[in-house]
Structure formats: C-alpha cells, structure tokens
Chain A
Amino acid sequence: MAQPLIKKDDDRDDEDNYSPFLGIEKGAVLQEARVFNDPQLDARRCSQVITKLLYLLNQGETFTKVEATEVFFSVTKLFQSRDLGLRRMVYLIIKELSPSADEVIIVTSSLMKDMNSKTDMYRANAIRVLCRITDGTLLTQIERYLKQAIVDKNPVVASAALVSGIHLLQTNPEIVKRWSNEVQEAVQSRAALVQFHALALLHQIRQNDRLAVSKLVTSLTRGSVRSPLAQCLLIRYTSQVIRESGNITQSGERPFYDFLESCLRHKSEMVIFEAAKAITDLNGVTSRELTPAITVLQLFLSSSKPVLRFAAVRTLNKVAMTHPMAVTNCNIDMESLISDQNRSIATLAITTLLKTGNESSVDRLMKQITNFMSDIADEFKIVVVEAIRSLCLKFPLKYRSLMNFLSNILREEGGFDYKKAIVDSIVILIRDIPDAKESGLLHLCEFIEDCEFTYLSTQILHFLGIEGPKTLDPSKYIRYIYNRVHLENATVRASAVSTLAKFGASVDGLKPRIFVLLRRCLFDSDDEVRDRATLYLNTLGGDTEIDNDAKDFLFGSLDIPLVNLETSLKKYEPSEEAFDINLVPKEVKSQPLAEKKAPGKKPTGGLGAPPSGPPSTVDSYEKQLLSIPEFANFGKPFKSSAPVELTEAETEYAVNVVKHIFDTHVVFQYNCTNTIPEQLLEDVIVVVDASEAEEFSQVISKPLRSLPYDSPGQIFVAFEKPEGLPTSGKFSNILRFIVKEVDPTSGEAEDDGVEDEYQLEDLEVVAADYILKVGVSNFRNAWESMDPDSERVDEYGLGPREGLSEAVNTVITLLGMQPCEGTEVVPPNSRSHTCLLSGVFIGGVKVLVRLSFGLDGAKDVAMKLAVRSDDVTVSDAIHEIVASG
C-alpha cells in the first residue's frame, strides 16, 4: 500500500480544523435540497447536497418524518438525470432514508427500470436498493429479474442479487427458497465472491434439512472451492455437520477430519486459521487430531502481523484450558510474545504459559512477568494474578517464588480490584500450602502497614487473628496489629482490637502484654473500639484459664446467616427477656453473593459485607404454627420447606403447601386461595391419602371454616412419623368443600351449597426435607475438626449425564444441603470436580459432605461421596439417601 509521506505545509495547524462541512446546519441543507426539483438538474451540485445530507446522518443527526419524506420525494426526481455519479448517490441516500411502504411505490418503477439497464453498476445497485426497501408483494413481481441476476455473467450483479437473497430469506423464505437452482449454479461461479455469497445463501436455504446440508458439504469438500471466504464458510458448515453427527466411526476416524486437516495447507491464512480453530473446537478432540492445528498456530505466533499473532495466541490460550500438554510445544514462541508491543497478545501469551508451564519453568517465567506487569492495565493484571494463583496450587513447591512475586506486585500501585485479587490469592495460598503460611502472613502484615483500602485491611486483620496465633512465633505480628490501632480509621482500629484479643486468647504467654495494649484502647476516641476493648478485657478476664465459651466466642464461626440475624434483631423488642441467639433460624434462604465472589474470604462478625437477600419467611410460619394449640406439643419445627404449588397457575383454586418437619411429626400447611368471585367455599378440608407413605399416620386435620373469594386461608394436616429418621413418602391430596353461589351485586351467599371436590397434585416428603442448609465459613477447618471415625466413604456410578454440572446439581438438590465456597459451580470443560456441602440433619446433627465427581468414558459420571458428621448413623443415612436417590 502506497503511503506517500507528504511534507505538510507550515499552516498545517490551521488546516487541522478545516472541514468542508464546517458550520453545516440541517435547516440550511434541507433548503439546499430544493435544487433536486430544478427543471435543469445540476448533477454535480445535487451530488454535493446529497453528500451533505449523508454527512449529517452520519454524524448522528436525525430527520423528522416530514423532513425525511420531503427529501425522499425530491430525491426521486433525480432519476431523470443520466449522470452515473449522481445516480450512485441517489441509491445510497434512498437506503439511508429507509422510506415507508407507501413511499417505496414512487421509486419502484425507476428502480425496476435500472434493474434491467445495460449498465452493470445500475443493475447491481438497483437490486440492492430495491431488495432493501421492498416488501413481499413487490418481491413476486421482481422475482424473475432476481433469478436472472443471480446467474448474471457480471459478478457484481450476481453478488448483489445473492446478498439481497440472504437478507430476504429472513423475511420471505418461501420466495427465496424457489431460487435454489440458480443459487446452486452460482456456487460453481468462477468469481470468488459470487461463490462465497452463493454458498452462504444455499446453506441458509437448506439449513433446516440436515441431510441436505450434509450432502452439500460432502460434495463441496471434494470439489474445488476457490474463494478463501467460501472455504471458511465450508469449514464452518463442516464442523457443524461433525458436531451434529456426533459420533466417531468404528475405525476411530472422525468424518471430514481429513478435509479440515487439508485446509491447514491452504494458501490463504484466513482459511488455515479457520481450519485450525475448527479443529481445536471439535468435541472431545484428541491430541493426535490437535497436533497439526497446533503446528500451524505455532507458525503464526512468530508472524510479523499482530492480527495473526493475536488470533493464534487466543486460540492456543483456549486450547490450554483443556489440553495444556498439547500447547507446551509452543512455549518458547509464547515466551517471546511476553514482550509483544500489543498488550492483548502479551497477556494472552502469559496466561497461556501459566497454564501450560511446568515446574522448572516457573522461576524464569516469573522473572519475565515482573518486567511486564508494570506496563499493562489493571484488568490484565487481574487475569495474570488469577493465573498465578492456580499455577501455585498446581506446583506447591514453587510457592516461594510465586509468593514473592505476589508480594512484590502488592507493593506497587494498583486499584482496589487488583489489590483484592492479590490479597485473595495470598490468603488462598496460605490456607492451602502450610509452608507458605509464615511468609504469606508477613507479606500481608507489611501490606496493611500502607494500605489505603479499609475493606482489605479489616479482612487481613481478621485473617491474621485466626492464622497468626498458630504460627511458631506469634509475637512478631503484634507490632503490625497494634500499629493499626494508632494509625488507622475507626473501622480498622476496631478490627485490630479484635485481632489482638484473639492472640491474647490463644497464646497464654502473650496474654499479659495483650492486656496492656487492650487497656490503652479503652481511651480510643471511637466508641466501637472502646466497646470491643472492654468486652475482650472482660471475656478474657484476669489470670484464670480462658474457658471454652470465651474461645468459642472469639473463634467460633458465626453459624447463623447474617440476614436471618439481622431480621431477628430488628424484630426484637426490648423486654425482660434477653435476645436469644439460638432462636435465630439457621436456614440459608438465598445464595449469599459474597461467598461466590470471594472464595478466599468469608464475611466476619460485623466487618464483612453482609450478604443481601430477601428477609426470611420462616419466622412467620413458625408463629402461625405455634399459635395452633394442637401442634404445641410437637416442639419447635426443625425445618419449613419452600411452598410447593399443588395446582396449575390460573386455575379456579390455587393451593400450595409448606412442609413443616418436626422431630416426630410432619405438618402440611395448605395455603388455599379461591379465585372465583361468584363462589364461597365452606368447610374446606384436604383429604390426604397416605397409602404410599406407610410410615406416616395422620393425627390431626384442621379444616377451614370458609374460604371467600381472594382471601387466602390455611388448612393443616399433621402426621406422626418415626423419630429422627428421614422417612419419605408420597401423598395424594383432594380438596373437598361445600360450594355456595354468591350474588355478585350484593355479595350475599345463598343458603344452600353443593358438595364438591377438586383434585390436587401429589406431594412428596423427601430426604432433603430433613436437612437444613447451613453453611460453614471454612470447610477445611470444619472438616478437620470433625471426628474422622464418623467418616463414611463410598463410590457411586451416576450413569450417563448431560455433563458434570448437571450431575453436581442433581446431587445437591437430592441432599438439600448448602454448597460451600462456591464449589457448586463447575468450570466449563472440566473432567473432574469436587463439591463441598454442609448442612444440619434432623435432630441437630451437623453433616459435612465432600463429593468428588469424575467423568469417565463418554458421558458416564462417577462420584465418590465422603461424609463426616457428629453422629455415625447420620453419615450412613446420607449414603442411603444417595444410594436410593
């Protein structure tokens, strides 16, 4: 491409702002557009005015309906002119104005004339314009010309007709489908672009007919497609056929793979890349199939063209997620890309390397990345930090250099999200790699010395309070923590006080010194800080042994969801009776967001951001139940399910049921609504047939006196069941009542009623109803603190599944337990996954479950289930649930 560097004049600055359209105004241009109506047309002038109109539209100016119509009508006059250039501009502006159907009629005849003109340019453009603005009725009139145009010997005309066909297929498929023969002929065209457009149209005409597409692909992959663009299309269609046919033939050969592979040797880079991409995207691609594609992508990595390097490294990055070994051959080329001018390429290269790197290359890689980090944007840095985190978990022995790297970048400038990503990573490394603890904690200590983000400081202080006392020399952290009490804002100070107290509680030797420090905090200017100091001084009190309650208070994780605590506290009214934290429901009502987003850290006492969620409805149920004397001796309900609908939406009577589980009883609460204004229901009962629930026996049924229109009422039915067991059963329900007609005007009901029934859907009590979703803040700690003897492990085959994610969700729903640490989310394409669940079994028995899923063969999912609980029988019960589920 010629780019003569013209020596610019000295007055370049003035020219900079020069524009032929300077000070242009819509009103004035619309005035100027009157020249279109002159009897003697000045073609050049008219062209200029159209250009001005297009300029205005291009700059985002809009014309009112009236203005647009006016311009459109005067433009149609310009068809009188024979000037080629002007006609070209007329076509363009008609498309821009997108006239309405009644206006289109005005230009139809002129355009149809042009469609049959001898000038190719007229024919091609008239077709494009007409097809753009036309509707179905007109299309049948011009169909004949369009078919001719498709096989026109001028490629420009043929392409115009074909592309228009592609657009029209969306709106008038039945007409365009009649052009198959012509389109098929055009596929054989010698003109590259015609072939491309014809292939695109032909495929779209046949896209719903799998066999036809397969045939098309079969014939073309053998034949000669000349245009690179058409070849790219063919590759896409081929991969679609491969995807849909799904299976590999007996010999292990994938149909059409040879074709894709042969495209890797095409002369056009566009086609080579398309084929390489298609191969890497193949479902369940094997390493043998990958190799040739990786080889060409590797060549692209050292291309002089940034676009080519980018395309290659992006594709390889994707491959590295599923087949890291296949990409290792490119590592050397990839390393040289770290210094690439284009930062997108460099970032992609680094993250690929981090995925494919082996233990020995880690140190070298770290050195290179350090230089690179300073000159990329935060968003890229976060990607790198995350990649480093997973690398470190993969190679725990290399924690030293990775930890050093993290602490170095922690010291540099950066925004909150970036810093948070680093801190999260360090925390995870400390948790999972015991050797990294000491150095990691010190890095964090250094960081809070000079940290501008309150949130991060408090999180780190909390973490220090838990991990610090367990180290060999806890005293060295005290200085860092106490410094916070001097130098920070109230939130951080309060947090530091709590952390000090934790050190005092766990390390006896430090206790007197901590007390001195805490006493100083009593004079803090902030009341929260003073309160905390007072509280801790009293709890840890004097010289006596610190009792377990105090320890629990300091270290025990809050096993109550914060939302529930908040609602309970709001409801509490000051009275003689103290607030009892044990009465706060423990059921998690909504997925706490914070848990998903920050796997490294959990909200703490009052510092972390409380997860937001709708206030729980459990309390209102409980009140209702307790107010019914018959149920008073059942005790406190263990769990109340979410309402289950027993009727379709918009039926005469809407009924849903809430299952309340007690130790020895189950109560069904039927919430009924009468949706018919002309009816009053009386003596409403639910007849429950428990023949498929043998272990349940009905004890109480509380009917509903009357159920007027649109005011919900409740019916209760109680069953007795074996104590403490997850008894399951199926119940069928019939709503029985007396209907009375209601006079719509007076609202009075008639005296006589008719007995009637209404069939409701069946209801099941399942194992999950006996388990509360109660999360734990640190699964690993909780798991280790449970008695290993209570562990029960077994393996299960789950048979063929849609994917791991589906299998994981099925088991979670079956058990009704709370997923921890975001482990319910399965990363795409993974072959194995571990999911952590926690809950409380009926009788208040804590249960933890560790599920390991693996994908073997094609789609068979195998699962290893490990359970620990406070009661061995419960561990067995969980296995029974899974075995029978």
Chain B
Amino acid sequence: MSPSKLELNPSVKNILLLDSDGRRVAAKYFSDDWPTNSAKEAFEKLVFNKTQKTNARTEAEITMFENNIIVYKFVQDLHFFVTGSDDENELILSSVLQAFFDSVGLLLRGNVDKKEALENLDLILLCIDEIIDAGIILETTPNTIAGKVGSNSTESGAPLSEQTLSQALASAREHLARSLLK
C-alpha cells in the first residue's frame, strides 16, 4: 500500500490533534515517513514549535517544511493538523482539515477543548477513522462524518436512565465540586 503507487490520488500523511503544550491528544499516521514513535514525536514537536506563535483561530493556516505541507487550525487549547506531501493540492488538504475540525466541533457539541476531547476520545478516534482510510480521503462532509460516528453515541450515551448509579454519582460530585469552587 505504498503511497507512491497511488501518486495521482490525493493522499494525507497524517492527522494530528495536539494540546497547547504540543502533547499528543490523538494522532494517526498513514505514511511510512515516520517509522518509529520517537520520529513521530519529533515531527509533532517540530510542527508545534513552528506553528504555535501563529494565529490560526479564525482561518486555517498553512506552512511547509521537510517536503511536507501542513495545514492547521487552533481552537481553545486544541491544535488540529493535517499533513500532506509538498506536491499535494493545498486546498484538498485544507478541506480535510476543515472536515476534521468541524466534525469534532459537532461531536463535542461546541465544547471543543482538550478536556472534552480526552473525555470523548473514542469519538475523536472514530472521527479520524471516518475521514481517512489508510491515507485515502473517505469523507469530507462534517455532518455525514459526525452522523456516522455519532449514531452510536446517542444510543449508548444519551439516556441518563441507563447510567449506572456510580457513574451518576461521579458526575454529580463533579458538578458539585465545580460549583463550590466558583
């Protein structure tokens, strides 16, 4: 499944979601460019350092290094990245980023921050899985993606009645703690 054989097909090398310190929240690599975890971490660190000072909050930003094009967008304490090779159409990469960004927004119901993302990590991972399949763009419409991911979350998570007692207590405790600390 080497990307070179698919050269004419638009392809994505990785999708990253980092926090405001550059730590990995979720990451998925589709190319062999970074064979080890340390190579991946080094790349993430580089990407983060290179982009952290830019303002990518209203519009997606873009940068280029090591023969890669990286499009990125930030919200709250979350940094979204999509990487492609330097001969890729920048706007295609940008549409993937937008799809990722907007679907996460829908799945987290607008509360897009690190805490919320980690608490719903299953949704984030499913979301990435629905956008890219081994480097090939699978879907880019946020509503469709969120629909495909969310169809189960509504079933398993929504009704409060199905929560176990301990879970209900835990969530109540959290709410109480928060209101007390205010």
Task: Give every chain A residue within 8 A of B148 (Cβ-Cβ).
Answer: 121, 156
Contact with B along A114-147 (1 / 0, CB 8 A): 0000000100000010001000000000000000
The CA-CA distance from A480 to B60 in the complex, in Å, is 52
B129 adjacent to A229 (CB under 8 Å): no
Judging by beta carbons under 8 Å apart, are B140 and A193 in contact? yes
Q: Is A166 an interface residue (CB 8 A)?
A: yes
Surface stretch bound by B, among A83-91, A290-298, A585-593: A83-91
Are B92 and A1 in contact (CB-based, < 8 A)?
no
User: Which of the residues A50, A62, A83 comes within 8 Å of B155, measured between beta carbons?
Assistant: A83
Contact residues in A for B134 (Cβ distance below 8 Å): 132, 163, 167
CA distance A305 to B162 in the complex (A): 45
* Residue of A with least CB distance to B36: A60
A305 closest partner in B (C-beta): B59
B60 and A305 contact, CB distance less than 8 A: yes
Q: Report A273 CB to chain B, min CB distance, Å.
A: 5
CA distance A95 to B132 in the complex (A): 13
A55-B121, A311-B90 given; A121·B151 CB < 8 A:
yes
Of the listed stretches A17-25, A517-525, A729-737, chain B binds A17-25
Number of interface residues of B (CB under 8 A): 67
Within 8 Å by CB of A85, from B102, B115, B153, lies: B153
Alpha-carbon separation in the docked complex, A237 to B10 (Å): 12
Assign chain A's interface to a size class.
35 or more
A369 at interface by CB-CB < 8 Å: no
Q: Which residues of A, 703-753, contact B by the 8 Å Cβ criterion?
A: none
Closest chain A CB from B56 CB (angstroms): 8
Per-residue CB contact flags for chain A residues 185-219 toward chain B (1 = under 8 Å, else 0) read 00000000100110010011000000000000000
From A44, A89, A270, A310, give the contact of B92 (CB < 8 A): A270
- A18: contacting residue among B2, B90, B115, B129, CB under 8 A: B115
Which of A47, A121, A274, A306 has the most chain B CB atoms inside 10 A of its CB? A306
Tell me which residues across on chain A come within 8 A of B162, comparing CB atoms.
Answer: 44
Is A633 on the interface with B (CB-CB < 8 A)?
Answer: no
Q: Are B91 and A342 interface neighbours, CB within 8 A?
A: no
- A86 and B126 CA atoms in complex are apart in Å by 12
User: Which single member of A43, A59, A92, A128 contacts B126 (CB below 8 Å)?
Assistant: A92
Report which residue of B60, B90, B121, B148 has the largest number of chain A beta carbons within 10 angstroms of its beta carbon: B90
Does A304 lie at the interface of the complex (its beta carbon under 8 Å from any beta carbon of B)? yes
Query: Does residue A58 face the partner (Cβ distance < 8 Å to B)?
Result: yes
A305 cross-chain contacts in B, Cβ below 8 A = 59-60, 94
A51 at the B interface (CB under 8 A)? yes
Question: Pick the contact of A54 from B54, B94, B121, B178 — CB < 8 Å?
Answer: B121
**Contact between B91 and A89 (Cβ–Cβ < 8 Å)?**
no
- Which one, B2, B77, B139, contacts A193 given CB within 8 A? B139
Is the beta-carbon distance between A342 and B89 smaller than 8 angstroms? no
State whether B152 touches A307 (Cβ < 8 A).
no
Residue of A9, A21, A307 touching B181 (CB-CB under 8 A): A9
Cβ-based interface call for A170 (8 A): yes
Task: Assess whether B62 is in contact with A20, with CB atoms less than 8 Å apart.
Answer: no
B151 touching A10, Cβ below 8 Å: no
Q: List 18 other contacts, CB 8 Å, given A88-B149, A166-B9, A304-B59.
A: A2-B105, A9-B182, A11-B181, A60-B37, A89-B126, A121-B152, A167-B1, A167-B133, A193-B138, A232-B10, A273-B89, A274-B91, A305-B94, A307-B71, A307-B91, A308-B91, A310-B62, A311-B90
Instruction: List the 8 closest pairs (A to B, CB-CB), nearest first.
Output: A85-B152, A60-B37, A85-B156, A311-B90, A270-B91, A84-B152, A307-B94, A51-B122
Q: List 23 A-B contacts (CB under 8 A).
A: A6-B111, A21-B121, A44-B156, A51-B121, A51-B122, A58-B24, A59-B24, A84-B151, A85-B152, A89-B126, A92-B125, A121-B151, A164-B133, A167-B1, A197-B136, A204-B6, A229-B140, A233-B10, A240-B8, A306-B59, A307-B60, A308-B90, A342-B63
